[in-house]
Amino acid sequence: MRFDGRAVIVTGGSSGFGRATALRFLREGAKVLIADLDEGGGQTTLEMAREIGGEMQLIVGDIATEAGAAAAARHAMDQFGTVNVLVNNAGIAPPERTDSWNAPEESWDRMLRINLKSVYLCSRSVIPTMIENGGGAIVNVASIAATRTCSCASYAAAKSGILGYTLQVATELAARNVRVNSVSPGIMLTPMLTGERKGFTPEQTRVRLEESAQRVPMKRVGSVEDIAAAIAYLASDDARYVTGQELIVDGGYVRA
């Protein structure tokens, strides 16, 4: 197994991409720590992990703060002895139909704090350990919103910031054997698309999915497993000569 015995932190592991990614690493032999504010969702992920076997733990806290990010790193070190892989996945979805030029300052600050600053804080908390142990891999979850007009300005700015941060830090750490890459999901089958959190009926969801699929060259929306597979590849030794890259997972949408 590609991650046998390796220690992995996945932020935002209580649902969506984070949950699928954490379970993927577990299946491939890793010891996994999920960090999230959503304790209920985190417990559900742990229950799913128990069916797979292996070792997964949950730490509840705000990794968009220095204390929260440091606590997650410290917990992984205490329990696993090291950190080999960090997946910066935690984030919040953009509000729909927002006038970006007139968004409240507090909503702008919240979006950048959770979606971008958390990447910096969590990376900073594990990089010294990775360097000390001879290397590691960081995978940041960005979005096609960084390069395609499909969202609000604060979300696009945060995701664009992730791409810039990835490239810069990858260059700084390359000689220290710490690789840093990003994954940019396209139109994916998540609660944001299906509308389940907005109370959509099954018929509304069906129409929404069909309309979305028609916008994609592959004529289907992506799944959380598609993103988990991309993250696992970039974190693995299969990508040992890959750093500073953005892997777009969108069924050909951006380039169409």
The pLDDT assigned to 113 comes to 97
121 and 35, same structural domain? Answer: yes
- Mean pLDDT score, 182-190: 90
- Asked if residue 73 is part of any domain, the answer here is yes
CA distance 59 to 36: 7
The 10s digit of each residue's pLDDT in 127-156 is 999 999 999 999 999 999 888 877 788 899
The pLDDT assigned to 189 comes to 83
Nearest residue to 243 (alpha-carbon basis) of 180, 189, 186: 180
The pLDDT assigned to 194 comes to 64
- Asked if residue 178 is part of any domain, the answer here is yes
- Mean pLDDT score, 3-30: 97
Range of the domain at 88: 7-186+223-249
- Asked if residue 254 is part of any domain, the answer here is no
- Mean pLDDT score, 187-210: 73
- Asked if residue 1 is part of any domain, the answer here is no
Q: Bigger pLDDT: 53 or 200?
A: 53
The 10s digit of each residue's pLDDT in 22-57 is 999 999 999 999 999 999 999 999 999 999 999 999
The 10s digit of each residue's pLDDT in 71-130 is 999 999 999 999 999 999 999 987 765 667 777 889 899 999 999 999 999 999 999 999
The pLDDT assigned to 31 comes to 98
- Asked if residue 256 is part of any domain, the answer here is no
Predicted confidence (pLDDT) at residue 174 exceeds the cutoff of 70: yes
The pLDDT assigned to 233 comes to 98
pLDDT band at residue 198 under the 50/70/90 scheme: low
Nearest residue to 94 (alpha-carbon basis) of 38, 151, 145, 148: 151
- Average pLDDT across the chain, whole number: 92
- Mean pLDDT score, 192-208: 70
196 and 241, same structural domain? Answer: no
89 and 196, same structural domain? Answer: no
Nearest residue to 95 (alpha-carbon basis) of 177, 197, 245, 224: 197
The pLDDT assigned to 1 comes to 84
The pLDDT assigned to 211 comes to 84
One-character DSSP codes across 34-88: EEES-HHHHHHHHHHHHHH-S-EEEEES-TTSHHHHHHHHHHHHHHHS---EEEE
Residues recognised as catalytic: 155
205 and 129, same structural domain? Answer: no
